[in-house]
C-alpha cells in the first residue's frame, strides 16, 4: 500500500507567487515526516522535518493528522527553489524511510 502520496508530478509557478507542494500519508502509528529536496545536479538532501517545526529557506510544513497531510509551503517562490521535492515518512520501530514519488517544482521568472 502506498504510504506517501504526492499527487502532483509537476508544479509550475511564477517568481513571487505562493507555492504549496502536497503530501498525504497513510500510517497507523505516530508519523514522523520529512521533506527532502534535490536541486539540479546535486544530491538529495534534507529540507525540513516536522518534529523540528522549523522554517528552512522560507519553507514550512505543518503536520495535519486529521487530513493525514504534510504539505510544504512557501509564501513567495524564488527561482532558486526550482528542484525536485520528496515527501518522506519514517516508519516507527524499524526506522525505515519511505519516499513519495516527488514533485518537480519549476519557478518561472
Partner 1 sequence: DAMVIQNPRYQVTQFGKPVTLSCSQTLNHNVMYWYQQKSSQAPKLLFHYYDKDFNNEADTPDNFQSRRPNTSFCFLDIRSPGLGDAAMYLCATSRDLGVGDEKLFFGSGTQLSVL
Residues that bind partner 1 (CB under 8 A): 4, 9, 32, 34, 36, 42-46, 49, 86, 90, 94-102
Nearer to partner 1, 15 or 84 (CB): 84
- Shortest CB 38 distance to partner 1, Å: 8
Three-state DSSP state, 93: coil
Identify each DSSP E strand in 31-77 by its residue range: 32-38, 45-49, 60-61, 72-74
Shortest distance in whole angstroms from residue 26 CB to partner 1: 14
Residue with Cβ nearer partner 1 (89 or 107): 89
Q: What is the CA radius of gyration of the chain?
A: 13
Amino acid at each position: 500500500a502506498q504510504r506517501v502520496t504526492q499527487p502532483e508530478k509537476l508544479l509550475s509557478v511564477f517568481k513571487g507567487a505562493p507555492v504549496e507542494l502536497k503530501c498525504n500519508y497513510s500510517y497507523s502509528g505516530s508519523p514522523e515526516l520529512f521533506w527532502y529536496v534535490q536541486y539540479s545536479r546535486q544530491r538529495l538532501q534534507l529540507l525540513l522535518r516536522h518534529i523540528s517545526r522549523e522554517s528552512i529557506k522560507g519553507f514550512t510544513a505543518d503536520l495535519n493528522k486529521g487530513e493525514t497531510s504534510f504539505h510544504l509551503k512557501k509564501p513567495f517562490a524564488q527561482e532558486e527553489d526550482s528542484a525536485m521535492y520528496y515527501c518522506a515518512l519514517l516508519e516507527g520501530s524499524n526506522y525505515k524511510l519511505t519516499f513519495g514519488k516527488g514533485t518537480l517544482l519549476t519557478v518561472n521568472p
